[in-house]
């Protein structure tokens, strides 16, 4: 620990910081002349769209900018009055983890796939604390971030955990050394609302107990309202507005800030309606309704086979999904909601035949049970999936254009020119410019990568899309545009969606009917109005109660 600072001195001060990117055309500014202060025990939230410079700012503070592509051009970063931009790599290693720690946005790319969870947690603890107590501290931190069977999880590997559980491991790792400054880059993106509430509470408790200062980077304005003492709004590498949380939410000065707040989905905004809002201005050409479901699921079950090898860590016969049944009609969306590990993603993969299952599944009237790869090819044209983790879904060696065009090539659709035109149109529809086709996944932000995955899923104009947390990584304004796009496609093409999400406000906006999952079973289902206006199960009520409200005044009133 460093010596106490003089009273009134900020624990962290960023002053006139600029970062440039190296390009074939020369240096290009990524962030320009930004500045802010973080006081002891304070939470500062940095909000803005994907690509606004939020994550580059945090990487600059931690000394983690990729030197081959990004470089601090000018400015100062002072932690406890100590200039970080002048420190050597070895000196920064002592700062990272011990004095300042970071929770990254994408846990799967941050965790070592060949090291157990326990080995990775204790590695960080031994570096900065006592090696004698490393395992006990690691176990205690997993308990604190609400991971079940913590002792067993220490022996598991990252691929054996859900996206939400992997993020909780990253949070435990960052908090384990009790840092003075904690930088959290989208720390709750992959978490369901109840665990998100627990994690945010944990971060607040840490701040209160140890005087930890927090920089929270998020696109969830509800989380900003709950957590922030002060807010920084970034756009195109610049700070456009900053101030106390109450002022930013109550009286925003800048148009961009007002647009961000207006784009936030709010639980209860669609009360009294039976379906999503209409967004298309064109004629509707839906199929004749009411006869054949595009997806029919009966008594679906998924059971793990068990084993003792590296890839088999579950007990034989351990069930993940049990007795799941539902129908989705053309032009209809069924929202599937529940906590991490409840079986949502497993259900989505099973109904597309991506993992073994029991029971009956029919897609567009055709049973998929027992079909081989060749027999599944026409089925895959009718049904596509948008996966939760966009970085793991894209081949890092394949350009974006080739990735989006790949389904067209596999199904022998169009010639080369027609495919290029189709790719350009798809990229435009999800908010990217056509020149993105020549770039690679690592050149995009997390939100931009998810838009690429959505474009790829739309390439074959399927009848059914299974969207697994498809907008979780998107900032609020881009999320609103993508959701509008999905609704427009549904209205004009009769698309059906199985929409998997932990965001109750998004589920309310998108769904005609809703199923709530817990521990592998559907515990409640019904129309959107029935679930959101008259929930029967306590679990459903708890999910709704945990949704962050984009109004800091509401949290101040509840704290009184």
Taking the model in full, what pTM does it have? 0.75
Q: How many C-beta atoms lie closer than 10 Å to residue 355's C-beta?
A: 14
Q: What pLDDT sits at residue 15?
A: 96
For 275, residues 6+ apart whose C-beta sits below 8 A from its C-beta are 512, 528
**β pairing state of 43-48 and 464-468:** unpaired
Q: Please tell me whether residue 347 adopts helix, strand or coil conformation.
A: helix
pLDDT tens-digit series, residues 339-387: 877 889 899 999 999 999 999 999 998 999 988 888 888 888 899 999 8
State the chain's maximal CA–CA distance in angstroms: 74
Q: What pLDDT sits at residue 409?
A: 94
pLDDT tens-digit series, residues 515-540: 999 989 999 999 999 999 999 999 99
Mean pLDDT (whole number) for 441-459: 86
User: Is residue 316 pLDDT above 80, yes or no?
Assistant: no
pLDDT band at 244; cut points 50, 70, 90: very high
Which of 59-63, 99-103, 359-363, 444-448 shows the lowest per-residue confidence on average (mean pLDDT)? 444-448
For 372, residues 6+ apart whose C-beta sits below 8 A from its C-beta are none
CA–CA dist 542, 531 (Å, integer): 12
User: Is residue 289 pLDDT above 80, yes or no?
Assistant: no
DSSP 334: E
Q: What percent of the chain has pLDDT over 70?
A: 91
Mean pLDDT (whole number) for 472-486: 79
pLDDT band at 469; cut points 50, 70, 90: confident
User: Is residue 4 pLDDT above 50, yes or no?
Assistant: no
Helix-helix angle 163-175:134-144, to 10 degrees: 130
Which of 106-110, 337-341, 460-464 shows the lowest per-residue confidence on average (mean pLDDT)? 106-110
CB 383 within 8 A of CB 461: no
Q: What pLDDT sits at residue 71?
A: 92
Mean pLDDT (whole number) for 81-97: 89
Q: Which bin fits 558, alpha (ψ -120 to 50), beta or left (φ > 0)?
A: alpha
H helical segments located in 134-283: 134-144, 150-153, 163-175, 193-210, 221-227, 245-250, 255-262
Q: How many C-beta atoms lie closer than 10 Å to residue 510's C-beta?
A: 27
**β pairing state of 238-244 and 230-235:** antiparallel
Burial class (CB in 10 A: 0-12, 13-18, 19+), 154: buried
Q: What pLDDT sits at residue 6?
A: 46
Mean pLDDT (whole number) for 270-284: 71
Handedness of CA 413, 419, 423, 426 (dihedral sign): negative
Q: Please tell me whether residue 549 adopts helix, strand or coil conformation.
A: coil
Which of 16-20, 326-330, 429-433 shows the lowest per-residue confidence on average (mean pLDDT)? 429-433
Q: What is the mean pLDDT of the chain?
A: 86
Q: What pLDDT sits at residue 283?
A: 54
User: Is residue 194 pLDDT above 60, yes or no?
Assistant: yes
CB 332 within 8 A of CB 343: no
């Amino acid at each position: 620990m460093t010596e106490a600072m003089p009273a009134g001195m900020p624990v962290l001060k960023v002053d006139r910081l600029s970062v440039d990117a190296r390009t074939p055309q020369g240096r290009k500014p990524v962030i320009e002349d930004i500045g802010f202060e973080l006081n002891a025990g304070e939470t500062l939230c940095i909000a803005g769209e994907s690509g606004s410079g939020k994550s580059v700012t945090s990487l600059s503070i931690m000394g983690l900018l990729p030197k081959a592509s990004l470089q601090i051009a000018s400015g100062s970063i002072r932690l406890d009055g100590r200039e970080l931009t002048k420190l050597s790599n070895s000196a920064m290693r002592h700062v990272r983890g011990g004095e300042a720690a970071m929770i990254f946005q994408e846990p799967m790319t941050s965790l070592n796939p060949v090291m157990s969870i326990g080995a990775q947690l204790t590695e960080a603890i031994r570096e900065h604390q006592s090696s004698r107590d490393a395992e006990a501290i690691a176990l205690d931190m997993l308990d604190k971030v609400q991971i079940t069977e913590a002792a067993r999880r220490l022996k598991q590997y990252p691929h054996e955990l859900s996206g939400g559980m992997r993020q909780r491991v990253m949070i435990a790792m960052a908090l384990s050394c009790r840092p003075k400054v904690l930088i959290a880059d989208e720390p709750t993106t992959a978490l369901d609302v109840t665990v998100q509430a627990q994690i945010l509470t944990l971060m607040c408790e840490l701040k209160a107990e140890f005087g930890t200062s927090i920089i929270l980077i998020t696109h969830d304005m509800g989380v900003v309202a709950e957590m922030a003492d002060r807010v920084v709004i970034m756009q195109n590498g610049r700070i456009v507005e900053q101030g106390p949380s109450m002022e930013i939410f109550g009286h925003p000065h800048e148009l961009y800030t007002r647009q961000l707040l207006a784009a936030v989905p709010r639980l209860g905004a669609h009360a009294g309606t039976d379906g999503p809002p209409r967004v298309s201005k064109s004629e509707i050409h839906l199929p004749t309704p009411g006869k054949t479901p595009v997806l029919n699921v009966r008594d679906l079950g998924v059971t793990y086979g068990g084993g003792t090898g590296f890839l088999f860590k579950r007990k034989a016969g351990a069930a993940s999904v049990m007795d799941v049944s539902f129908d989705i009609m053309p032009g209809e969306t069924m929202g599937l909601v529940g906590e991490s590990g409840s079986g949502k993603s497993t259900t989505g993969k099973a109904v597309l035949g991506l993992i073994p299952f029991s029971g009956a599944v029919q897609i567009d009237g055709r049973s998929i049970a027992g079909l081989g790869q060749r027999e599944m090819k026409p089925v895959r044209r009718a049904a596509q999936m948008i996966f939760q983790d966009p970085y793991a879904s894209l081949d890092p060696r394949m350009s974006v254009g080739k990735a989006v065009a790949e389904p067209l090539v596999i199904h022998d659709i169009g010639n080369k020119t027609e495919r290029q035109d189709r790719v350009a149109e798809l990229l435009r529809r999800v908010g990217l410019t056509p020149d993105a086709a020549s770039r690679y996944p690592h050149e995009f932000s997390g939100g931009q990568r998810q838009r690429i995955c959505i474009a790829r899923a739309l390439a074959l104009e399927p009848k059914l899309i299974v969207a697994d947390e498809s907008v979780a990584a998107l900032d609020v304004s881009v999320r609103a545009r993508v959701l509008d796009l999905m609704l427009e496609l549904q209205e004009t093409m009769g698309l059906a969606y199985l929409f998997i999400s932990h965001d109750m406000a998004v589920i309310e906006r998108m769904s005609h009917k809703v199923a709530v999952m817990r521990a592998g079973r559907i515990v409640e289902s019904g129309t959107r109005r029935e679930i959101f206006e008259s929930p029967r199960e306590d679990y459903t009520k708890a999910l709704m109660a945990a949704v962050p409200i984009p109004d800091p005044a509401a949290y101040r009133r509840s704290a009184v």
